[in-house]
Every structure is written in C-alpha cells, then in structure tokens.
Structure 1
Amino acid sequence: MNRYPSIADHGLIGDLQTTALIATDGTIDWFCSPRFDSPSIFASLLDHSRGGHFSAHPHDAVFETKQLYIPDTAVLVTRFLTENGVGELIDFMPVSSEAPSTRHRLFRVLRCVRGAMDFDVEIAPRFDYGRQQHELKVADHGVTYTAGNTRMSLSLIREPDDERLARWQETSDGDLHFSLSLVEGHMRGVVLETGSEAPPQDVPVATAQRLFDDTVSYWQDWISRSTYTGRWREEIDRSAITLKLLTYSPSGGLVAAPSAGLPEQLGGERNWDYRYTWVRDASFSINTLVRLGFLDEAAAFGRWLRDRVVEPLDSDTGPLNIMYRIDGDPDLLEEIIEGWEGYRGSYPARIGNGAAEQLQLDIYGEAMDAIWNAHLAGIEFGQAGWQAICDLLDWLADNWDQPEEGIWETRGGRKNFTYGRLMCWVAFDRAIRLAAAYGRPAPVARWTVERDAIYTQIMEKGWDPTRRAFVQQYGEPVLDASLLKMPQLGFIAPRDPMWLDTLAAMETELVSDSLVYRYDPSASPDGLRGSEGTFSLCTFLYVDALARSGQLAKARITFEKMLSYANHLGLYSEEIALTGEQIGNFPQAFTHLALIDAAITLNDRLDEAAARGRH
C-alpha cells in the first residue's frame, strides 16, 4: 500500500453531518466526527504515522482494486481481485436526522463474491489530530475507545450462530488488528459508531442489509427529484450527490470541501482548511440547485444565508464574514498541527482558516444574486430579511470603493480588485430589482447612483486599453479568471467586442490545453511562496463563457477534456497539476457547482443551435 495515495484515489461517503474519505486500497484516511469541522479521528492523509487510519483489505500480499458507487447513491464499493477470489468492501453511513447529532455510524461491510478471501482489518484512531490519547477496551462483542469526552465503539456484523470470527490483536499504542475469513456468499463486517454511550454489540447481517437498502433508497429517491434531462446527466447527478454530501443538514450550510490541509502545490505551503461554509459558495449553490430543481436544498441554504444577513457581525471588515463554521459561528482560528509532516511533505498542515476575517467585497454581490435567484424560484425573505438587506446595502454604499483582499483570499495586502467591484455592482443591481419585485420601501435612488458609479469605474479603470482586456486590479495588466463571470452576471453582453477581446487574452495567457489558471502569481504576487495548478472552477467558468459567446465547438471540447480529469468516481479536487494529477482539497464543492452550471449552459446553447438549424 502507498504511504500517501493520490488525492484522486479516494471516494466519499457521509450522512449529511460528516463524511469519510476512503482510498482505493480500502483505507479510511480522513474522518472527523461528529461534524465536518470537528477534530479528526482518522487523518493519515496528512500524516501517515501520526494521523490514524482504518484499513480493510485482503490478506494476500498482491491484489488489484476497483472502486465504484452503487448507481445514483453515495454508497461506495471497493472491489478486491486476488488469485483466490473476489471480495468487496461496501462503505456507507445511514443518513442522520436533521437535528445535530453526536451519534454517527459508519458501516464497513465485507463480503466474498467469488472463491474465498481472508480480510485484514486495522483500526488505529488518533483523536483530536493525534493530540488526545485514548484507552481501548476489548470485549467479545466489540471494542470501545475513550479519548477525553469522546467515545467510539466498534461492533461486528455477523450471524447469531457464528463462532468467533475475529481474532483480536491489541497493540501497545491502542491499535487493533483482526482478520475475517470468508467464502463465496458470506457477508460480515464492522460498524464504527461515534457519540453513543451504548456498549458495542453484534449487528445481525440482516440488520446491516436493511440499513444498506435504506441508504441506497434514500439517495436514489433524492437524485430522482432532479428536473435536469439534458446531456451529461450522469456527471451532473454525481456532482449533485457530492454537493448534498457536503451539506450539513441541521443548518443547511455547505462546506467548501470535507478535507483540510491538502496542498495546492506538492511540498508547498498553500494548504488550507476548507471544512467551513463560505458565503460565496453557499450563494452559488442556491443558484445551481434551483437550476436542477432542488428547491428544498436551495431554501435551506437560503435560510443559512438569511441568518448571516439578519444577524450581522460587528466587524471592521463589514457586516458579513467571508466564511463561517457550519452552524454560523464566525470563530475559525487558524493553527498548525505541530509535528505533522503534511500530505507528501506539504508542510504546514493547517486547521482553522485565518482568511475568515478578510475584507472581500465580492461576497455582498454573490449573496444578493443568490437572494434574487431564490426570489425567482419562489423562495422569499420576510420583512426582517428585507430590512437586513437594506442595512447591508447601506454599509456597502459607504464602503465599496476601497482596496480589499479579493476572491482568491490572497495574503499580499489589499488591492482594488476588479472582481470585487463587479460583485458590488451586482449587489446594487439585484437589490434594485428586488425592491421593484416586492414593492418594498428602499433607497433605490441612492442604490442606482452607486450601481452606475461602479459600472463607470470598472469601464474606466478595470479595462486595460493596452491589453484590450478587463484586468485583475486597477492599474495592473494582470488577467484574472474570476472575470469570466462578467457575462454570466449580466454586466456585459457575451458577444460585446470588449468581452470577446478579454476572452481571447485569457485564452492566450491563462489557458493551458483547455485548463485555466486563476491568475499568474509571478505577475501578481499574492503573499505566498510557490505556485499552483490550474483551477478547476475556472475551467468550467471558461466553458460557460465560451458557450455564452457562441463558441460552442470550443466550449464542448473544453468541457469534454475537463471531464477526462475527473477521478474514477467522477469527483474533482480544487486544482489540477501540470502532470494531470488532482491537487488541493477534495472533493471541492465549488468545482462541482461550476461543472453543473457549465453543463446546463452548454446544453441549452447546443439545443438552441440545433433548433435554429432545424428552422
């Protein structure tokens, strides 16, 4: 087994409150409980020796693996092929209720489907990022782990008349090894449970089968509600399921990714914790899910966003933070896990996120665009929400014309980013539309003045006549892929000559064989050492922009090429390295949101072109 598997060599399971990453060799190397942003229990993905893991694989020294999802579900199957037979590891988590829960169950069902197979299982937890020692208590019916106030149990899945299937071997450091010998047709396994005070007990095979069936039914019933019927349905459905997995059901918050510390450059320092809810991501998710017909989820995200708007912060950086914990807590203190080497030596391994209190003006436009799209879908804000919107816009009217940190959370100081100004324009534009749609009292005259002033400023200072392109920041010739959203947001017509020139400039400078960089760090220092890969979100934004500008052939080949970079399960991390390897936190919600949007836009434009051809 590899010391550090590739980031892409993982599948994701979850119960809508937390998730686990499972490598293609059957190892859980990232699992936090009871929530996405809780301290880790297994985290060998960030430090092989200190992080902890839960492995299950054939005893044979040589085996091949294949991994797939049960169709239209988040139930993961890892298949093992050996000389003696074929076995399967089925991983799933029964979906939790919508109330916050400390109890979570992770089923690891082992079965032999051909021949015979001996499985080796090793459980090596390291609580609180390896900072909390644990005690292990072994009994005939299972195992109990205790680490401070945290309790975890391990129970066997077996038949009542089974003899002792497990041969426990306890190590001095509190790890556990055991083996299971199965023949064709046998199904046994283990259940990992966190947060329950009940002692471990045998789980009958029939009970495990029932919970498996229920979990499969839940996911298949959920995805069947999608209203999308166009091209690339399989890729869109997998992205939608992934977004649902990344949703914290009790609050409606969407985490940017379930992982922390995975590098944007192998060996580099750009290793951030993404287990939080960004205002930006939550806003985009509302728009995307409305397009797929998932109005309940869009409404839940809308309520999360409403709560942030209605209860503004008393902060020097404005009434909204750029990100929060999944329950709305703004405290995201960043720290380094001391002693951990990081993924493949990518030090430091960070938890928390120090960018939380940055000034990023674009979030106000993204929030208002989401509220506008929610309105179009019949999801409305009440009077308290409207008053909060007016207060937010009053603040923005006084503060939009200032330097800020920008969408990419750079740490090189505040600058006059064009994208930030663009989204301030969006904020006022959508607020004006909402006031008219609702017939609510509002200082529309002032909002109109501010909106038009921003438009004029972008045209005068955000446009570089020498580059013949809209640029990243005023007075600098650097290009930025975030501006690919300009036509999508209605700021400029997609076939306007100024926009087509910008798109052509980006193709020359930011596009590499269809993959798109965010910007060039060497030309625009961002306060961090090293470089990064192409940004998958930006590639899908490029597809969307090409399709809107009528360049359908280029848009389609770019999209199809990007699909080839997905992992074996259709999942994407944040970035793609020069080698084609996925890097950055995994899987990333932003990427899957952009995939869905690009696919829908491209599909609609292709249908329109076909209809014109028929006439």
Structure 2
Amino acid sequence: MADYPLIADHGLIGDLQTAALVTTEGTVDWWCAPRFDSPSVFGALLDAERGGHLKTRPTAEAFTSKQLYLPDTAVLVTRFLTAGGVGEVVDFMPVAAGDTASDRHRLVRLVRCVRGEITFAIHIAPRFDYGREPHKTHATDDGVVFEGARNALTVRLIREPDDEHLGRSWVDDNGDVRGELRLAAGQVRGLALETGARQVRELRVAEALRLFDDTVDFWSGWLAGCTYDGRWREMVHRSAITLKLMTYAPTGALVAAPTAALPEQLGGERNWDYRYTWVRDASFSVYSLLSLGFTDEAAGLARWLRDRVHEQNEKDSSGPLRLMYRVDGSSDLIEETLPHWSGYRGSAPVRIGNGAAGQLQLDIYGEALDSLYVGHRHGLIPGHQGWLAIRDLLDWVAGNWSQPDEGIWETRGGRQNFTYGRLMCWVALDRGLRMATEHGRPAPLENWRRERDAIYDEIMQRGWSPGRKAFRQHYETDVLDSSLLRMPTVGFITPTDPMWTSTLRAMEDELVTDSLVYRYDPGASPDGLRGDEGTFSLCTFQYVTALAGAGELDKARLTFEKMLTYGNHLGLFSEEIGLTGEQLGNFPQAFTHLALIDAAVALNQRLDEARPGRRRHTTVSAVRGR
C-alpha cells in the first residue's frame, strides 16, 4: 500500500472560500477549488497514487521536519532540519477582499533557507475533478499552466531575475512538473499556485513577501477581536481561527470539515463527505462565536440560517428545513462513490455528496431556533418577514414533533422515536415562545405552549428508562446516547436534578473511557452500518461542559486537559479518537472545535465563580476517569 501520512499529521490553510491540507513533510495532499465543496485539484489524501499533490522537501536522504503556525495566524510553517542546513516551507492563502465568490484562488508557498545550504525537490501533480479530468501541461520561463477541459491551474515562480543558477525543472511523462531548488542561507524563493487562471507571469520575491505580510496582518487583526482571556486562551484562539478557515465568506456558511471520506474506522465503510453546511453545526456556531465576541461571524451565520428558514419547503419529506446545504445554500448533495480511488489507507468506498441530506432529523429545528434566539438576545432581531418564516417553521414543529426521525448521528438504520429529537423540538417551541412574548410578535402561543409541555411530559415518561435510571436514546431501547449531554445546557433539566445526575453516572459507566466519550454503543443499537468507530470528540467536550454545570470542577478540568493531549501538534482535532489515540474521521472538524470553545468558556467561568480559597485537588475517582 502507498504511504499515507496520519490524519493528524496535517495543518490547514485557507482563504475563506476554500482550504488545503499540508502534511508535516510539506505535501499539499488535499485542495478543492474554487469552493470547499468543489472537485479536488490535489487529492492524494484519498489516493496517494492517483489523487495528485504538491510536494516540496529536501533532497537529503535524512531530514527531520517540524510544523507550526505563525502565532495568531493561519500561516503554516514546515521546517526541515538536514545535515547541510535548515530550511522552511511557508504556506498561506491570501484572503480575497470583500465577500464575492471567485474562481481564482491562490496558494503561496515560500521556500527559504535559514542556515547553511539546502536543496529542495519539487513535484507538482494536479489531478482535476477527483482525478477524472485529464489535462495538458504548458511550461514557460515564468511558470507552468496545467490546463484541463473545465479547470486550470497556473504555477508562478517566485524568484529574482538572475536565478538561473538556483535549480532546474522539467515536465515528466505524466505531465507533472518536477524540479530542484538550491538555496543558501537567507535566500527566499517559491511558488504561487492559482486556480481559474490560464496565463502565467513571473512573481518577484518582494511581491510575494507583501502577500505574506498582508495575510499575517489579516489574521492577527481578526483574532484581536476575540474577547476570551481565560485559562485556555491559546487553544481557544486556534479553534477560533480554524472555524474561520472553514467559513465561506460570500454566504457566511460554515462547513462541517474541509475534507471528504476520511474514515471513522480504518478499512471501514463509514467514510462521509463533510464539505457542506449542516443546520446543526451552523446553529452551534452562532452561540460559540458570540461567546468569543465575534459578532460579525455570528451575524453571518444567523443570516444564513434565516435564509434557509425563508426557503422552507412544505413538500419536502425531510421537513421544511434540509439537514444540510452546499455553501451557496443549494441542496443538490447527491451521494456517489469514486471507484477509481482506493481511499485513505484502503478505506473504501470514497464518497462525495451526502445521502443523509434527505433525512428527517427533528433536532435541527431546536438548534436553529436556539441560535436565532441567542442572536435575538444579542440584537440580531428578525424583521417582519423573518418572523413570519419562523412562525411557519414553529407551526410545522408543533404539528410534527411526534413522528419518528433518523436521529442526530445520521445512522442508516431507520427512523425511531429519538429522545434527542424530541428534546430539541421542545427547545424550538420554547425559544419561539420567548421571542414572541419578549417582542409582542403575533403567534399561536397557546398551541405552541401546549405542544411544548406535551413534549416535556412525554420525554419524562417515555424517554426515561426506570431500569437504567437514565434518559435513553429512543423510546424502544435502553441504550444510552451522549447527545443527551445537552439536556441541562438547553435548560430542559437542571444540572443537579437527581434524574440528570443519575443519567450522567450511567453514561460514565457505559460511554466514557479514560475521559473520552462514545456517541452510543453501535453493538447495542444497530445503526445500519458495518464496523465500529472511535470516541466522538464533540461528545467529550460536551461531557466537560456537563460536568462543569453539575459542579464537578475537578473532574471537568482533568477531562478537558486530558482531551487536549489528543489534539495534533497544531492543536487541531478531527471527528473521532481511535483505540490507540489516533485521530479518525474528517479533519479538522468544526463540531469538535465548537465544543472545545464552549467547554473552555463554561469551565473557565465556573472556576472563576468558585469561592475564593477553595482547595484545589485531584480526586482519586477523577484519576480513574470516573
């Protein structure tokens, strides 16, 4: 099998319309353009032989590589240490001015020698449309044009006029470009890749350095707006930048992850495309971003949600809201497989599109209304037409909350009476009632109140398992589900209620392992898919929030600190953690970084509120992970 880097051995760069992954050895092995959900230009992450890549690494037989972000930015530095010298590859994507969608996106790669002398080997091998579109290669003195029938990629050489002695390049039999670049201490050269362009001209070093300075200034200036100054400032800042990197500026939409088909189990079939905007993720983002002071981003997401509410389709079997959308708001997410690609480390099928888009997941209505209510409390108040759309949506919820749905985890095992779906319908109606009464908006208040209270009674009666002394996944099972960790967070139950503390203990016994949290037990609750999965990082951070709310601050803090050790060298998290601590699933995942922010904010606040002089200690039970 071809050599694949670990999922965690990547950094992320982007320009707020698309993003690329760069390995710890300086290879760009994933880049889709011109949008997050566009076909790939480089896809070696999912097929090392046929996917395409950009490689830049020392020619020395032995070298060590290190990777870091420039502080407070999304500029990624990969350092190479060899016997003859030290070199760096600096990758960034200049952020386009304004919020207009564009086909032209630049990936700039500065290559420099820090000490001694170093020679870099360069290999540029694009594979358009997931490797399905052939291309022709045109090389000039100033760079290269890779031209396909529908796509094009230009490569501009970053150099000075007298650079002939620094290296050589050639086009190989596959139409790839290979070259060598010899640098001495202090020299800076490189490449600038651009999509959507079919002409190439030389790029001088001074101009490339201006692009670098502009990009650094953008990110450091943006992050200066963060209001969090708590105990985990560095991790929260990195998570905020990561979320910003996954935001599509023209619409404000947030993708769940910039990747597709990275497996939840190596060699398994749980390989999904996450390059879309889930109503759930976008809703959570509004709260998280507002808690950090990023009101513009929260407002953009709230507007995106508002537009989806306006577009509601009563004829859709999945309800008036779709579960997920493309970043432009369209909903054509037909799922297909790429049989010509082998998948990450043989994990097939490679899926693009997402068949879960047509599922009925009732919880999204609560999450959408909760985020609109949070925005409402921060001054993002809907106008008349917006309120009418919200009212229509809540009328639908009031009339449809009692039907079975597919549940939050997008299982393929059929519809059930999921407790979490009922819980979030309660949230939807509760938040609608609050918004209507606080601003005197016209609404069928008695009907909404009656249905909200009926949901509460049903959950307490049918969602509760007397045998387990815990709230359960759905009414026909005693299986536990960590999505219910949000019950006290949304205000359905107090965090000290005996029914909740009993549920939390039951979850710890069944779903928590060394502080890591499983979504549910797929063996006990068949989900229609083969294989297993790792612990779900979102749920681990939500467990921290639940512990903090219950006043178990020692356990919450230890769990949080232990979870941070599973992040990669840059502080990035994928969807899941495997048995041996490896990161699994699409990377990085917005859900995980949102939950990290929420946990850091909640836990920091509870620690600050703890009475002065409170003795801090770590209990034996906390060390045991219980």
TM-score range, shorter chain: over 0.9
Counterparts of 1:33 and 1:118 in 2: how far apart (Å)? 30
1:96 positional shift: 1.6
1:378 is aligned to 379
Structure 2 stretches of 5 or more lacking a match? 616-626
1:592 is aligned to 593
1:74 aligns with 2:74: yes
CA contact (8 A) 2:284 2:594 kept: yes
Identify the range of structure 1 (311-320 vs 280-289) with the bigger mean alpha-carbon deviation.
311-320
Q: Which amino acid aligns with 2:192?
A: V
TM-score by length of structure 2 reads 0.97
Aligned pairs for 1:104-123 (under 5 A) are 104-123=105-124
Q: Which amino acid aligns with 1:330?
A: S
SS at match of 1:168: strand
1:468 positional shift: 0.2
String of CA shifts for 1:315-372, please: whole Å, max 9, x gaps.
Answer: 1111000000000001101000122110001010100000001000000000000001
SS at match of 1:373: helix
1:165 positional shift: 3.8
1:267 aligns with 2:267: yes
Counterparts of 2:554 and 2:462 in 1: how far apart (Å)? 33
String of CA shifts for 1:375-402, please: whole Å, max 9, x gaps.
Answer: 1111111111100001011111111101
Structure 1 stretches of 5 or more lacking a match? none
Counterparts of 2:480 and 2:195 in 1: how far apart (Å)? 48
1:516 is aligned to 517
Q: Which amino acid aligns with 2:44?
A: S
Q: Which amino acid aligns with 2:507?
A: M
CA contact (8 A) 2:2 2:49 kept: no
How many residue pairs end up in the alignment? 613
SS at match of 2:168: coil
Q: Identical aligned pairs, as a percentage? A: 64
1:613 positional shift: 4.5
1:288 is aligned to 288
1:95 positional shift: 0.4
Counterparts of 1:159 and 1:341 in 2: how far apart (Å)? 41
Aligned pairs for 1:129-144 (under 5 A) are 129-144=130-145
1:551 is aligned to 552
Counterparts of 1:494 and 1:185 in 2: how far apart (Å)? 59
Counterparts of 1:2 and 1:50 in 2: how far apart (Å)? 11
Counterparts of 1:395 and 1:463 in 2: how far apart (Å)? 26
1:544 positional shift: 0.2
Q: Which amino acid aligns with 2:551?
A: G
1:580 is aligned to 581
CA contact (8 A) 2:2 2:48 kept: no
Q: Which amino acid aligns with 2:330?
A: D
Counterparts of 1:268 and 1:582 in 2: how far apart (Å)? 15
1:29 aligns with 2:29: yes
Counterparts of 1:84 and 1:262 in 2: how far apart (Å)? 37
Aligned pairs for 1:83-98 (under 5 A) are 83-97=83-97, 98=99
Q: Which amino acid aligns with 2:503?
A: T
1:612 positional shift: 7.8
Counterparts of 2:614 and 2:554 in 1: how far apart (Å)? 15
String of CA shifts for 1:122-150, please: whole Å, max 9, x gaps.
Answer: 00111000100000001111000111121
1:5 is aligned to 5
1:300 is aligned to 300
String of CA shifts for 1:480-501, please: whole Å, max 9, x gaps.
Answer: 0000000000000000000000
What's the Cα RMSD here? 1.1
SS at match of 1:474: coil
Counterparts of 1:46 and 1:613 in 2: how far apart (Å)? 51
Q: Which amino acid aligns with 1:298?
A: A
SS at match of 2:114: strand
2:156 is aligned to 155
CA contact (8 A) 2:4 2:48 kept: yes
1:202 positional shift: 1.2
Q: Which amino acid aligns with 1:399?
A: N
1:163 positional shift: 2.5
Counterparts of 1:136 and 1:273 in 2: how far apart (Å)? 30
Counterparts of 2:165 and 2:213 in 1: how far apart (Å)? 26
Q: Which amino acid aligns with 1:82?
A: T
Q: Which amino acid aligns with 1:466?
A: G
SS at match of 1:167: strand
Q: Which amino acid aligns with 1:386?
A: W
Aligned pairs for 1:29-68 (under 5 A) are 29-68=29-68
Aligned pairs for 1:604-615 (under 5 A) are 604-611=605-612, 613=614
Counterparts of 2:426 and 2:7 in 1: how far apart (Å)? 38
Counterparts of 1:165 and 1:337 in 2: how far apart (Å)? 41
Counterparts of 1:444 and 1:118 in 2: how far apart (Å)? 72
Q: Which amino acid aligns with 1:326?
A: V
2:470 is aligned to 469
1:160 positional shift: 2.6
